Structure 1
Amino acid sequence: MDSNTPPSSSAAAGSADPSAARRNSKRPKYSRFTQQELPACKPILTPGWVISSFMLVSIVFIPIGVASLLASHNVVEIVDRYDTVCIPESARNDKVNYIQSPGDKTCTRNITVTKHMKKPIYLYYQLDNFYQNHRRYVKSRSDAQLRSNGSADDVSSCEPEDKSNGQPIVPCGLIAWSLFNDTYDFSRNGQQLSLNKKGISWKSDREHKFGKNVFPRNFQNGSLIGGGSLNSSLPLSEQEDLIVWMRTAALPTFRKLYGKIEDDLQANDVIMVTLENRYNTYSFNGKKKLVLSTASWLGGKNDFLGIAYLTVGGLCLFLAMVFTILYLVKPRQLGDPSYLSWNRNPGWQ
């Protein structure tokens, strides 16, 4: 072959710079992370580890569940439903008309204390079948207006309770408009029991969500009154009944704190409650209840947490016992190759 013959194309390709091929490759740069070569913990779930884990969970959860149930059972709680009994016999066929008509709605209830109740005794009102989580209801408020006096005209999200007589309502919206307005007075043996209504709302709400310079204005001045009125001389940050009510509930049955009784109540004490039955729950078949309750380190009376801990702890204890019995009755070698499918079925193809 002539030495001057030009090289073929294949020869030219083979003599190309290898660094150019590497530059044109789509293969990612090597790293231990992308190739999953980093050190890793790969625990082996041996019978001993599994049984020990279940036993540890049961040892921790069962005592917590027992302590939670005991704390809940030590809470003294008295619940008195009054929405029906506080309607006169003559008006029980038309409760809505009775509650909407003007006049005295005073009602007296006698509550007998079943066990000794240590102060402070928390007083709640409970409403049933009241959907505070309804989308239109929850949106009908103005947080900017509640915080700042300069945002009094910000009522765009408060319909239909945004303005009255052409002037903005402060506080506006359906939540504030439907403020709970039943009232309670308590006496024991003819002596008035003091009710502390300070500190019943969240501190963060008082300091950050309700302004100290925002005062009620033009509130409940419409043709239809939804609930309670507000003291126009007090800023919203000091009107704690409103603050408690404005923190809407997630469920249709809820309790809201009304006040605290700062006296001990003895067993068999008869508490006379003088209440004003004014809040209309009859239009939507709602219920009203008065709740007196003490508190424990866990809070109020609620067995759910204790039952949940006991259920999980009991289930883990049961599984630990079952696995222990199986391990003792029919043990097997860890990683026994005889259990592989091709060893158990030699003729398998």
Structure 2
Amino acid sequence: MNKPTDNKFWQQHLPGCFLIMTPKKVIISFLTMGITFFLVGIILFITNSMLFTVNVQYDFLDGILTTKTFDVSKTIKAPIFIHYSIHAFYQNHRKFVNYDVNQTKDYMFNDTIKVLADSQGTPIKIDQTDLLTVYDKKRKDFAGLNEQTIVWMKTATLPTFKKLYGIVRQDMQPGQYMLQINNNYQLPNYSRKEFCIETTNGAGGTNYYLPIIYTATGAVITGLGLIFIIIELSCGRKMGEKHSKFQISIPRRFLVAQKMDEKEQQYEQGTLKRTPRGEKLSNEQMDIPLHLLTTEDCVKYYQARDQSGKNSIKKQRMQKQVTKNELTETQKEKEKSDIKKTQSHAQFNNKKEDAQKIKRVRSVSELKMEKEKRRVVKKQDDKEKVQSARQWNDFKHQRESSELTLEMIMPKVDD
């Protein structure tokens, strides 16, 4: 039978930890989590405020060659990323996704930045290489396409999206900058497009969603922790004590800590026996409600319960051993009877085989005797045939000799 091995792991007897959530532990955990979330949100707010972001919006009414300006208030360290952003463009639409590569390329964003220069007219180079990730470079369906096309072919999930246009690999000093754009890409009236010039950090670009979520979550959890502190200070009580505001007597079946200690002593002395598992407990042996005990009392209670469980397990093992012994005895008796049966069957089979062998020997000897008789009869027949042949030959020879003599005599008579 498929029985698990008799060890602590498979029998689920490993030592366990019974976590009892006291008010102190709950307050500490809430305050720790709340302050941690709040600090992470503040750090994200600070890092986002240190990033530089400017959005240059334009539309088709500005003309084919559009010139826009933007200001930089502080020195921006390289690399500086330039994205083109499109609003209300459903690139994830089923019909658009099902187009093949050539049809999708026909709808590709084709606005370009002709000139990016500072206030003195010095052009700033925009690098349009190394725009892809390692995963995008390994994709087989993008084989043979340039980097700008691959960036456009990566379907956006939302109708408002940003895609990387190029990278400025030099610092930008404070001042006014000019952006000259070839405005070729047409959009409907409800859509708009813009170029976004921004820097990034380890958490990505400018995004205030995560800081708000972290700060709000931390504030809520910290507020709950403070409320728990107020409740504990105003109307808290020790575990195991009756609350002063609730004049309800404890039922007789619920034990207090002192009574449990007395019972433990009786258990140790042997004057009181533990109730095995599965039997109904009396009023004085009912389970203790945890909200009436201190932490130490709960530990003692669980230790006592575990000890009673171990004793019952020992009894079960003893019973199993007895049943195993009984089973082994019955198995041995069965094996002996099986051996006797096999021996009797073997003797019967041996006798049967001997009888068959005797029959075979008899049949062989009879065959030999018949063959011998046939051989003797055949030999006698052959002798008789030989004798008859000899007699016939003698008779024939005599006849021939008599005929010769007659022939010799007859002519003489005629003469």
User: Under TM normalisation by the shorter chain, which class is it?
Assistant: 0.5 to 0.7
Residue 180 of structure 1 aligns to a residue in which SS? coil
Residue of structure 2 equivalent to 1:133: 92
Residue of structure 2 equivalent to 1:225: none
Residue 79 of structure 1 aligns to a residue in which SS? strand
CA distance in 2, matches of 1:193, 1:29: 74
Query: In structure 2, which of residues 164, 186, 190 is the aligned counterpart of residue 285 of structure 1?
Result: 190
> How far is 1:253 from its partner?
1.0
Greater CA radius of gyration, 1 or 2? 2
The worse-fitting range, judged by mean Cα deviation, of 293-302 and 35-44 is 35-44
Residue of structure 1 equivalent to 2:24: 48
Residue of structure 2 equivalent to 1:244: 151
TM-score, structure 2 as length reference: 0.53
> How far is 1:336 from its partner?
4.9
Residue 192 of structure 1 aligns to a residue in which SS? coil
Deviations 1:132-168, CA, capped at 9 Å, x for gaps: 2223323x2xxxxxxxxxxxxxxxxx4xx5xxxxxxx
Query: In structure 2, which of residues 127, 130, 137 is the aligned counterpart of residue 199 of structure 1?
Result: 130
CA distance in 2, matches of 1:256, 1:317: 39
Residue of structure 2 equivalent to 1:187: 117
Q: Does 1:271 align with 2:177?
A: yes
CA distance change for structure 1 residues 39 and 337 in 2, over 3 Å: closer, same or farther? farther
The worse-fitting range, judged by mean Cα deviation, of 70-79 and 183-192 is 183-192
Q: Of the two structures, which has the highest relative contact order with CA contacts closer than 8 Å and spacing of 6 or more? A: 1
Deviations 1:287-336, CA, capped at 9 Å, x for gaps: 01111111223221111111211111111211111101110110123255
Partner amino acid for 1:72?
A: N
Query: In structure 2, which of residues 237, 251, 261 is the aligned counterpart of residue 332 of structure 1?
Result: 237
Residue of structure 2 equivalent to 1:177: 106
CA distance in 2, matches of 1:298, 1:308: 15
CA distance in 2, matches of 1:38, 1:343: 38
Residue 317 of structure 1 aligns to a residue in which SS? helix
CA distance change for structure 1 residues 330 and 184 in 2, over 3 Å: closer, same or farther? same
Q: How does 1:72-87 map to 2 (within 5 A)?
A: 72-83=48-59, 86-87=62-63
CA distance in 2, matches of 1:177, 1:197: 20
Q: Does 1:113 align with 2:72?
A: yes
Q: Does 1:208 align with 2:139?
A: yes
Residue of structure 2 equivalent to 1:321: 226
Structure 2 alignment gaps of length 5 or more: 253-415
Q: Does 1:307 align with 2:212?
A: yes
Partner amino acid for 1:112?
A: D
The answer to whether the 8 Å contact 2:83/2:197 transfers is: yes
Partner amino acid for 1:44?
A: I
> How far is 1:52 from its partner?
0.9
The answer to whether the 8 Å contact 1:206/1:243 transfers is: no
Percent of pairs with identical residues: 30
CA distance in 1, matches of 2:12, 2:90: 52
The answer to whether the 8 Å contact 2:60/2:186 transfers is: no
CA distance in 1, matches of 2:241, 2:94: 60
Deviations 1:218-267, CA, capped at 9 Å, x for gaps: xxxxxxxxxxxxxxxxx32xx11111112211111111110011221122
The answer to whether the 8 Å contact 2:34/2:222 transfers is: yes
Deviations 1:94-141, CA, capped at 9 Å, x for gaps: xxxxxxxxxxx2222222223322111110111000112223323x2x
Give the RMSD, CA atoms, in angstroms.
3.1
CA distance in 1, matches of 2:24, 2:140: 54
> How far is 1:209 from its partner?
4.0
Deviations 1:15-49, CA, capped at 9 Å, x for gaps: xxxxxxxx9xxxx9999999987755442221011
TM-score, structure 1 as length reference: 0.63
Q: Does 1:67 align with 2:43?
A: yes
CA distance change for structure 1 residues 42 and 242 in 2, over 3 Å: closer, same or farther? farther
- Point out the structure with the larger strand share: 1
Partner amino acid for 2:58?
A: Y
> How far is 1:70 from its partner?
0.5
The worse-fitting range, judged by mean Cα deviation, of 110-119 and 324-333 is 110-119
CA distance in 2, matches of 1:202, 1:117: 24
CA distance change for structure 1 residues 135 and 256 in 2, over 3 Å: closer, same or farther? same
Partner amino acid for 2:139?
A: H
The answer to whether the 8 Å contact 1:71/1:297 transfers is: no
Residue of structure 2 equivalent to 1:217: none
Residue 56 of structure 2 aligns to a residue in which SS? strand
Structure 1 alignment gaps of length 5 or more: 1-22, 88-104, 141-157, 162-170, 215-234
The answer to whether the 8 Å contact 2:128/2:166 transfers is: yes
Partner amino acid for 2:108?
A: L
Partner amino acid for 2:162?
A: R
CA distance in 2, matches of 1:69, 1:34: 51
Residue 271 of structure 1 aligns to a residue in which SS? strand
CA distance in 2, matches of 1:267, 1:317: 42
> How far is 1:195 from its partner?
0.6
Residue 139 of structure 2 aligns to a residue in which SS? helix
The answer to whether the 8 Å contact 1:121/1:260 transfers is: yes
